[in-house]
Amino acid sequence: MRRAIQPGSAHRPFAGGARRSMAHCRVCGSAKARFAFHRQGRRYWKCDECHSVTADMTAEQYLALAPSYDLGSWIESADLRSARRTLGVEEKIAVLRRHAPPNCEKIRMLDIGCGAGGYLLAAKELGWEAIGVDPSEPHSRIGRSLGLDIRVAPFNSADCQDAGFDLVMLSHVIEHIYDQRAFVSDVLRVLRPGGVLLMITPNAASLASRISGRFWPMFKPVDHVSMITPSALRFIAPSDANCRWRTTEYESEVLTTFMVAVRDCLRELRRSGSDTAAEPAYGGAPSEAPDLAGRLLRSAKEKAIALLSWPLHLLAKGLRRQACLVVEIEKARM
């Protein structure tokens, strides 16, 4: 179920490049941020105003991050069928159909942070005109091998000579952004009036995150620096935009997430009693394709976990606290 909110209210400006005490929330600018926990040698703060969780770092430290999200060399030699399965194209087609702007003869889509191009491939199969932007050369190379239009660069609206998109996709991108409000404002410049920015991100207010605490797996990637909640959207979206949101998750997600959190907690306890080096921060996908036996075993495990997780999934759904936050920001019409 979607809920409408009034974006932009109570916003306090924040200069992304300036050093600022983390007593102020980087997402909403309020002075209600408090220390929450340490994870992987970094401090995190939680805001009592917008409930976002942010990593304590300067803009300079953020720009110095160098995570790796290499999908592995095996996907470059995979056939189209295998690539479609790996990139989840069927699932992404369903997402695009659900959020496609109405009354468009042929939709023009821009996917920012497109990775290897799962949403671009889905859009192509729907007959849309789709362009991707991603700073990763390995990811872009994979997408181009599938016949996709991907430009290797970080997003900047000034570089988009062919603006006027009907739909802009931000799938698991906004949590990587240091100054989210400025970024969203820049993205909206390339949308036509009435166009839609579709944003998908981990939900820091989800049941999965709450029961996992500081061991929530979404805190593990080193560049997940700004984890937001539905309460944060009124600070990120402009006041004249129409903003709607819903939450979603896989049936097994709450239990699976908690199991990973317990595993990471136990690993940390073991490391604290030994001289073992710290576990490297997560930053990628499996480096090789699973074989048939591995896929069958994984499928059986997923079905068993989904069955056990069903009560927690229903609770999260009823509370609108599912693991993934899906946001539509419709640009104001002229």
Q: Give the C-alpha separation, 48 to 111, whole Å.
A: 32
Q: So what's the pLDDT on residue 302?
A: 74
Percentage with pLDDT > 90 across the chain:
63
Lowest mean pLDDT of 16-25, 116-125, 177-186, 223-232, name the range: 16-25
- At 239, the amino acid letter reads S
pTM comes to: 0.84
Assess whether pLDDT exceeds 60 at residue 288: no
pLDDT tens digits along 26-76: 999 999 999 999 998 899 999 999 999 999 999 999 999 877 666 555 455
Tokens found for residue 90: 């069927």
Q: So what's the pLDDT on residue 16?
A: 40
Report phi then psi at 31, rounded to 5. Answer: -95, 25
Question: Which has the higher per-residue pLDDT, 79 or 250?
Answer: 250
Angle, alpha carbons 218-219-221 (nearest 5°): 85
CB 167 within 8 A of CB 188: no
Map tokens 């560049």 to a residue. 223
| Pairing outcome for strands 165-171 and 191-202 | parallel
What is the CATH architecture assignment of 68-249+324-330? Answer: 3-Layer(aba) Sandwich (3.40)
89-99 vs 118-125: helix axis angle to the nearest 10? 70
- At 253, the amino acid letter reads E
Report phi then psi at 298, rounded to 5. Answer: -65, -40
pLDDT tens digits along 5-35: 433 333 333 334 434 445 689 999 999 999 9
pLDDT tens digits along 158-192: 888 777 999 999 999 999 999 999 999 999 999 99
Q: So what's the pLDDT on residue 322?
A: 98
